């Protein structure tokens, strides 16, 4: 298995390109199941999770081609559709559950495996199933699979309020309600930029969705959707991750294509820590002067709050801040798996339930480390850039799920990072 070697670094300088969003692309690709005409996504990220979604859609009968080196995903679902999403693919990636809404809307029935366990939390599916049941679906769990069907074959518009603004359940609801008969309203909807991107794409396909980006989304169901071409929104988590590289090492880096509106709550915390962020037409420029970073407290929340997907990376910065920071994780129940690894590098962190207290130390020291999820892995790379000596991060397959060409991108701004083939 490959690993990544990182050497403690001086300041980083230059430009770094930010890719299209993994989590937007993973929701946009299943939208191809809603139409028999082609859907083309440009600005797609080159990631193993996208390949997994490709394999899943292909197993359902879609044709998916990666063009221009994978930056364009051209999809078409004009033939016969297989309604069964198999455990062998679904277990690899939770976002596979995003085919449930589209299959149900297009075919009137679907059989989708439950994804099973996940390193960061239990991640149940109840919000997805109750949202689809509100639209008239009958869903039963049999042999590890959700068996869903709609009497009469077509979903019916309905008003539904979610008990929590789940990103995935909002996406499944939007796709299903787009082809339902009549008007649907989703209250307490997730407001993430990936939801807005999905609604924009569905509207290009002929859907009638209003209010995406707010807590109340209204959808007028239509009889059919047509083809479209859509650019995937910028990846705000890759953006935030790379913004932290100069924040940790010093220097000045412009994240090309970055927008403040995607990362406002995160930027507030960076600025409170003493890092300067400027928005220009080219992107977001991050600069750290020679002073030590200041401690800040962080609470993860649904968008527009501080993203859980940047909590691990922010912790890497705060390990060497002046003073004590408290990070509270409210979205997932087990998302501090990076803390024991950072402690191996000399960090002083205490974890109690959903809180991590980080006492800033002068310097971290390189060590062999590993992580059990994507964001935790990249936080160890960031920590390694700030540490004395060498850090080897193993289980690199997690990184390849969410960061394209990470060694090339970071070495392009002066980081000492290389992949060791295993
Ligand atoms: N939840 C339920 N029931 C459900 C669905 C969710 O209780 O039916 C709970 C989850 O267990 C969790 C919380 O609600 O505690 C939030 O889950 P949500 O459904 O919002 O998350 P998701 O759609 O499964 C997406 C991203 C995650 C990101 C979360 C939160 C994709 C493909 N994944 O997951 O991304 O952390 O939203 O913002 O969009 C990552 O990229 O590293 C990643 C984990």
Is the pLDDT at 261 greater than 80, yes or no? yes
Alpha carbon distance 14, 340 (integer Å): 32
Is the pLDDT at 397 greater than 70, yes or no? yes
If you take atom 11 of ligand 1, which residue's CA is the nearest one? 123
If you take atom 17 of ligand 1, which residue's CA is the nearest one? 166
For residues 376 and 338, is the Cβ–Cβ distance under 8 A?
Answer: yes
Integer CA distances (angstroms), 125 to 21, 139, 161, 167, in order: 23, 11, 16, 12
Alpha carbon distance 291, 322 (integer Å): 10
Residue 396 confidence class, pLDDT cut points 50, 70, 90: confident
Rounded to an integer, the average pLDDT of 339-350 is 98
Determine the atom of ligand 1 nearest the C-alpha atom of 128. 8
CA-wise closest residue to 21 among 309, 282, 302, 276 = 309
Three-class SS state of 212: strand
Catalytic residue among 25, 118, 255, 319: 118
Model pLDDT, residue 119? 80
If you take atom 18 of ligand 1, which residue's CA is the nearest one? 166
> Pocket around ligand 1: residues whose beta carbon is below 6 Å from it?
23, 26, 94-95, 121-128, 164, 166-169, 308-309, 331-332, 374-375, 402
Is the pLDDT at 398 greater than 90, yes or no? no
**Which residues, including other chains, have CB under 8 Å from residue 174's CB and lie 6 or more apart?**
101, 186, 195, 198, 199, 202, 209, 212, 217, 219
CA of 166 to the centre of ligand 1 (A): 6
Alpha carbon distance 54, 41 (integer Å): 13
CA of 163 to the centre of ligand 1 (A): 14
Tokens, residue 326: 């408290």
CA of 93 to the centre of ligand 1 (A): 12
Neighbours of 62 (CB within 10 A): 22
CA-wise closest residue to 390 among 365, 414, 415, 370 = 365
CA of 123 to the centre of ligand 1 (A): 7
CA of 168 to the centre of ligand 1 (A): 6
Alpha carbon distance 189, 287 (integer Å): 35
Size of the chain in residues = 422
Give tens-digit pLDDT for 218-258.
999 999 999 999 999 999 999 999 999 999 999 999 999 99
CA 408 to centroid of chain Cα atoms = 21
Handedness of CA 405, 406, 409, 412 (dihedral sign): negative
Average confidence score pLDDT of the chain:
96
Alpha carbon distance 417, 396 (integer Å): 13
CA of 302 to the centre of ligand 1 (A): 10
CA-wise closest residue to 379 among 24, 358, 286 = 358
Bridge partners of residue 3, in order along the sequence = 420
Neighbours of 343 (CB within 10 A): 16
Question: Is position 118 annotated as part of the catalytic site?
Answer: yes
281 burial (CB, 10 Å; 0-12 / 13-18 / 19+) is exposed
CA of 189 to the centre of ligand 1 (A): 13
Pocket test for ligand 1, best of 119, 331, 373 (most atoms within 8 A of CB): 331
Residue 117 confidence class, pLDDT cut points 50, 70, 90: low
Bridge partners of residue 148, in order along the sequence = 110, 139
Rounded to an integer, the average pLDDT of 392-396 is 91
If you take atom 14 of ligand 1, which residue's CA is the nearest one? 166
Determine the atom of ligand 1 nearest the C-alpha atom of 373. 42
Query: 65-79, 153-167, 388-402: lowest mean pLDDT where?
Result: 388-402
Determine the atom of ligand 1 nearest the C-alpha atom of 166. 20
Determine the atom of ligand 1 nearest the C-alpha atom of 129. 8
Determine the atom of ligand 1 nearest the C-alpha atom of 303. 38
Alpha carbon distance 238, 199 (integer Å): 22
For residues 174 and 30, is the Cβ–Cβ distance under 8 A?
Answer: no
Pocket test for ligand 1, best of 31, 168, 308, 335 (most atoms within 8 A of CB): 168
Is the pLDDT at 79 greater than 70, yes or no? yes
Model pLDDT, residue 372? 82
If you take atom 21 of ligand 1, which residue's CA is the nearest one? 167
Helices (H) and strands (E) in the chain, counts: 14, 26
Rounded to an integer, the average pLDDT of 323-340 is 96
Model pLDDT, residue 122? 75
If you take atom 43 of ligand 1, which residue's CA is the nearest one? 309
Model pLDDT, residue 9? 74
For residues 382 and 364, is the Cβ–Cβ distance under 8 A?
Answer: no
For residues 336 and 305, is the Cβ–Cβ distance under 8 A?
Answer: no
Residue where the block lists tokens 């501080």: 306
Rounded to an integer, the average pLDDT of 25-41 is 98
Higher pLDDT: 229 or 396? It is 229
Determine the atom of ligand 1 nearest the C-alpha atom of 165. 20
If you take atom 33 of ligand 1, which residue's CA is the nearest one? 23
Alpha carbon distance 289, 310 (integer Å): 22
Give tens-digit pLDDT for 176-227.
999 999 999 999 999 999 999 999 999 999 999 999 999 999 999 999 999 9
Alpha carbon distance 57, 32 (integer Å): 9
Alpha carbon distance 113, 91 (integer Å): 8
Is the pLDDT at 121 greater than 70, yes or no? yes
Handedness of CA 336, 341, 345, 348 (dihedral sign): positive
Burial pattern 136-173, b for ≥16 Cβ within 10 A else e, equals bbebeeeeebbbbbbeeebbbbbebebeebbbbbbbbb
């Amino acid at each position: 298995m490959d690993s990544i070697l990182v050497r403690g670094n001086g300041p980083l300088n230059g430009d770094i390109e930010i890719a299209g969003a993994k989590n937007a692309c993973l929701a946009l690709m299943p939208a191809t199941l809603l139409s028999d005409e082609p859907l083309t996504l440009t600005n797609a990220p080159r990631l193993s999770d996208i390949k997994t979604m490709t394999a899943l859609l292909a197993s359902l009968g879609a044709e998916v081609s990666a063009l221009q080196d994978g930056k364009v995903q051209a999809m078409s679902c004009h033939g016969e559709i297989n309604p069964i999403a198999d455990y062998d693919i679904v277990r690899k990636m939770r976002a596979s559950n995003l085919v449930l809404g589209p299959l149900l809307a297009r075919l009137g029935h679907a059989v989708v495996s439950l994804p099973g366990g996940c390193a960061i939390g239990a991640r149940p599916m109840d919000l997805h199933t109750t949202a689809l049941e509100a639209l008239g679906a009958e869903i039963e769990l049999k042999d590890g699979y959700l068996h869903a069907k709609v009497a009469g074959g077509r979903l019916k518009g309905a008003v539904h309020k979610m008990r929590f603004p789940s990103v995935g359940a909002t996406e499944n609801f939007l796709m299903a309600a787009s082809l339902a008969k009549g008007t649907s309203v989703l209250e307490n909807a997730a407001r993430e930029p990936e939801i807005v991107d999905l609604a924009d794409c569905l509207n290009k396909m002929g859907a009638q969705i209003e209010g995406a980006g707010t807590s109340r989304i209204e959808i007028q169901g239509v009889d059919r959707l047509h083809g479209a071409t859509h650019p995937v929104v910028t990846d705000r988590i890759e953006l935030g991750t790379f913004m932290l590289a100069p924040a940790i090492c010093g220097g000045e880096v412009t994240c090309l294509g970055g927008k403040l509106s995607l990362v406002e709550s995160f930027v507030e915390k960076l600025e409170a820590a003493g890092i300067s962020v400027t928005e220009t037409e080219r992107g977001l420029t991050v600069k750290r002067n020679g002073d030590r970073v200041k401690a800040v407290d962080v609470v993860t929340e649904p968008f527009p709050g501080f993203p859980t997907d940047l909590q691990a990376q922010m912790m890497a910065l705060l390990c060497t801040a002046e003073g004590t920071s408290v990070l509270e994780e409210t979205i997932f129940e087990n998302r501090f798996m990076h803390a024991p690894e950072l402690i191996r590098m000399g960090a002083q962190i205490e974890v109690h339930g959903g809180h991590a207290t980080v006492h800033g130390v002068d310097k971290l020291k390189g060590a062999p480390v590993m992580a059990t999820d994507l964001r935790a892995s990249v936080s160890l790379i960031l920590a390694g850039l700030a540490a004395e000596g060498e850090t080897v991060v193993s289980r690199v397959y997690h990184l390849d799920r969410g960061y394209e060409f990470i060694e090339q991108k970071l070495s392009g701004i002066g980081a000492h990072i290389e992949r060791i083939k295993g």
